[in-house]
């Protein structure tokens, strides 16, 4: 280990904000602005109120950069409402998913309903029942956010459900309910796992902007922070955010009765088509089932059924969508249809269904046998399936879009390059990009199951498998002369050592209790390692050398302690996790003391000692024991056990 714990890279880096708004232009850029600098990365020297201020005004206004740890979050009412709304949303979304224009129950409705019910429960629920607190006080923003996160996990149907539906309708294949539920759960867990792993790239960096999420943050903030006088008022009126929201809500509720019930024709109205309703070509060009040129709709739900709300999308994105629609629907589709490319005239100009050679819906069961395999004879008689012109062109542009995405990523486009450089956040510093991220524990990307439980007997020394230190150390990189932070993860070796008895076991107890460190001294190594421990007497194989001394913690306590250390990067972290019996413990030797065990350096090839667990007075103690005979003047080494490829590439001395 090294004692060079005081030199760190400057983490108070500042960048010029790209613009006052993320909606200004496609690249989020405006290099000619002379705005004051805003802190992009965490400032460890500042107070918690100034931590991580986003350079984008929408984020800074709607996302708080402070946290109140005393505010209730997981309460009885938040869990109850979260589960209730999740079930209701799942049923509603799936029930209406098969409509031509599915009902869009967006996140705004979830936020509104959860807020109303939460405020109602605050007023009617008693404070406690059977000494269980069910109403801790006012409905908090954390409870509101937790309920919203739970409920919005079911605001859309899933492609896995579409696969089950297609099997039943078109192939007469009925999967059992149990297998269907299992299939849906597996696909959902897989997607959640992938999204969790991608957090460090898509969520944590401060320059990652998600407009739809900003809308949710803005709405929650408007409902729960009704006293914001400066932020809560627009430029053109003195109406607060909350008042403005309720006015719009009332107007939307009243208006929807027109297209939704009283006058449904407002959902889609083509005045031009009514001039010649019996003209086939005229109907195809202007009708609802054709190109819909000159048609209009006044139903908000029809607008957002397949697209996100236009309120969330910047204007330049609307222009891109319009250009793409014109190319696909009004140029590409008519050319393919009226030139009869791919025999598209046998089917309507627009439909998501497949058709046979006579223009009827294609029946897939006609060309399949009882085992759902292709019957070539039946296929030859029945004929091929034909796609509509609109569907075929849309599929072509979909594949072209994938290829264009790859090419666009590979070609250095100037606006994107400027925006990337403006973010000024390196990939190895993504941990600093998330707002308040360092103050909370996160689920690990990979969970490794524990090995078999080791037997333990207090009367004899117990040797566990070698548990590698989970340690945060400042290491020196000879390539760029920089100091970086390395955090090791817990590892387990595959070899199970079990219980081993030593002749000197009895004396080990006295060595440990008397804090024996005879024959050792700390010296500066004169290398990048800093301090090291050298022998002043000869040690023989299996001899007691020194205890890795520190505060003994449970695994839960150690994780909390490690989280605290992570907030201050000027603190070195010497934490060693090991398993004893059925539990995982940790020796925290972070605090600077005169004990020498914490100063022994790493070597994979030249290790001359190894850690073992011994029991003294029914308490596990971590001891370093000689692997071989050690001569006077040798420096002590043991293998820290780091095997991750990326860490070894950054610090090649770990291979030594």
DSSP 329: I
CB of 642 within 8 A of CB of 468? Answer: yes
Q: Residues 319-332, buried b or exposed e (16+ Cβ, 10 A)?
A: eeeeeeeeebbeeb
Condensed to tens digits (0 to 9), the pLDDT of residues 463-502 reads 433 333 333 333 333 333 333 333 333 333 333 333 333 3
Q: What is the mean pLDDT of residues 544-564?
A: 83
Which pLDDT band, with edges at 50, 70 and 90, does 241 fall under? low
Residue 9: per-residue pLDDT: 34
Q: At what angle do helices 107-124 and 141-151 cross, to 10 degrees?
A: 130
Question: What are 372-388's pLDDT values in tens digits?
Answer: 788 888 888 898 889 98
> H helices within 570-651, ranges in order?
645-650
pLDDT tens digit sequence for 500-515: 333 334 457 778 878 8
pLDDT of residue 223 exceeding 90, the answer is no
Question: How far apart are alpha carbons 581 and 453 in whole angstroms?
Answer: 6
Contact partners, residue 510, CB within 8 Å, separation at least 6: 516
Q: Max Cα separation, the chain? A: 106
pLDDT of residue 32: 36
What is the tens place of the pLDDT at every residue in 18-56? 344 444 433 333 333 333 333 333 333 334 334 456 667
The pLDDT of residue 623 is above 50: yes
**pLDDT confidence bin for 581, thresholds 50/70/90:** confident
Copy the structure tokens of residue 172.
């007469």
Exposed, middle or buried: residue 1 (CB in 10 Å: 0-12, 13-18, 19+)? buried
Pick the closest to residue 613 from 626, 622, 604 (CA basis): 622
> What is the dihedral sign for C-alpha 520, 521, 524, 528?
positive
What average pLDDT score do residues 233-254 get?
A: 71
| Contact in structure between 522 and 597 (CB atoms under 8 Å) | no
User: Residue with structure tokens 């941990």?
Assistant: 431
CA 104/CA 301 separation, integer angstroms: 6
Segment 607-617 mean pLDDT: 84
Residues 456 and 585: beta-carbon distance below 8 Å: no
State the DSSP code for 492: B
Domains of the chain in start order, with CATH, are: 448-655 (2.170.270.10)
629 vs 301 pLDDT, higher one = 629
Predicted local distance difference test score (pLDDT) of residue 569:
64
Decide if 386 contacts 193 (C-beta within 8 A): no
Q: Supply 432's token pair.
A: 């600093």
pLDDT digits (tens, 9 = 90+) for 262-311: 887 777 777 777 777 777 777 778 777 778 777 777 777 777 666 766 76
Query: Which residue would you say has higher pLDDT here, 175 or 205?
Result: 175
């Amino acid at each position: 280990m090294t004692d060079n714990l005081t030199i760190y890279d400057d983490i108070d880096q500042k960048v010029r904000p790209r613009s006052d708004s993320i909606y200004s232009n496609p690249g989020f850029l405006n290099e000619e602005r002379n705005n004051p600098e805003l802190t992009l990365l965490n400032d460890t020297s500042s107070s918690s109120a100034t931590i991580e201020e986003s350079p984008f005004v929408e984020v800074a206004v709607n996302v708080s950069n402070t946290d109140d740890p005393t505010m209730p979050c997981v309460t009885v009412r938040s869990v109850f409402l979260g589960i209730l709304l999740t079930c209701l949303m799942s049923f509603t979304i799936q029930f209406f998913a098969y409509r031509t224009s599915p009902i869009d129950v967006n996140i705004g409705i979830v936020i509104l309903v959860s807020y109303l019910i939460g405020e109602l429960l605050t007023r009617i629920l008693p404070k406690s029942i059977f000494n269980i607190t069910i109403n801790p006080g006012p409905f908090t923003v954390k409870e509101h956010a937790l309920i919203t996160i739970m409920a919005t996990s079911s605001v859309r149907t899933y492609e896995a459900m579409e696969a089950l539906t297609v099997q039943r309708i078109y192939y007469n294949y009925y999967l059992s309910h149990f297998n269907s539920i299992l299939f849906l759960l597996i696909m959902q867990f897989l997607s959640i796992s992938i999204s969790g792993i991608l957090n460090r790239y898509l969520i944590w960096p401060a320059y990652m902007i998600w407009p739809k999420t900003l809308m949710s943050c803005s709405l929650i903030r408007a409902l729960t922070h009704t006293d914001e006088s400066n932020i809560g008022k627009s430029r053109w009126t003195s109406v607060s955010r909350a008042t403005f929201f309720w006015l719009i809500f009332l107007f939307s509720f009243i208006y929807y009765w027109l297209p939704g019930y009283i006058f449904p024709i407002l959902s889609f109205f083509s005045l031009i088509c009514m001039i010649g309703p019996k003209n086939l070509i005229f109907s195809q060009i202007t009708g609802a089932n054709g190109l819909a040129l000159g048609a209009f709709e006044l139903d908000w739900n029809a607008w957002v059924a397949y697209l996100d709300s236009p309120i969330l999308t910047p204007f330049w994105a609307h222009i891109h969508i319009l250009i793409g629609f014109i190319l696909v629907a009004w140029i590409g589709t008519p050319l393919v249809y009226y030139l009869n490319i791919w025999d598209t005239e046998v089917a309507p100009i627009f439909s998501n269904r497949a058709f046979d050679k006579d223009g009827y819906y294609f029946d897939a069961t006609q060309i399949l046998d009882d085992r759902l395999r292709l019957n070539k004879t039946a296929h030859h008689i029945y004929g091929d399936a034909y796609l509509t012109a609109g569907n075929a062109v849309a599929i072509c542009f979909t594949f072209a879009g994938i290829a264009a995405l790859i090419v666009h990523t590979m070609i250095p486009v100037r606006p994107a390059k400027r925006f990337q450089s403006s973010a000024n956040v390196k990939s190895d510093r993504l941990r600093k990009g998330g707002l308040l991220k360092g103050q909370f524990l996160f689920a690990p990307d990979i969970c490794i199951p524990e090995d078999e439980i080791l037997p333990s007997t207090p009367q004899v020394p117990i040797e566990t498998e070698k548990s590698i230190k989970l340690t945060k150390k400042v290491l020196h990189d000879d390539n760029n002369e920089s100091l970086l932070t390395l955090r090791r993860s817990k590892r387990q070796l595959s070899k199970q050592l079990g219980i081993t008895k030593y002749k000197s076991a009895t004396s080990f107890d006295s060595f440990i209790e008397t804090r024996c460190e005879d024959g050792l001294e700390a010296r500066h190594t004169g290398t990048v390692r800093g301090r090291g421990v050298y022998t002043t007497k000869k040690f023989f194989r299996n001899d007691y050398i020194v205890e890795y001394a520190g505060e003994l913690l449970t695994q839960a306590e150690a994780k909390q302690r490690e989280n605290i250390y992570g907030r201050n990067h000027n603190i070195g972290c010497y934490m060693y996790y090991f398993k004893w019996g059925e539990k995982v413990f940790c020796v925290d030797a972070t605090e600077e003391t005169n004990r020498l065990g914490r100063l022994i350096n790493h070597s994979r090839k030249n290790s001359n000692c190894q850690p073992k667990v011994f029991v003294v007075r029914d308490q596990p103690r971590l001891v370093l024991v000689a692997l071989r005979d050690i001569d006077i003047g040798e420096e002590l080494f043991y293998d820290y056990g780091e095997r991750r490829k990326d860490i070894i590439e950054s610090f090649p001395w770990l291979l030594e």
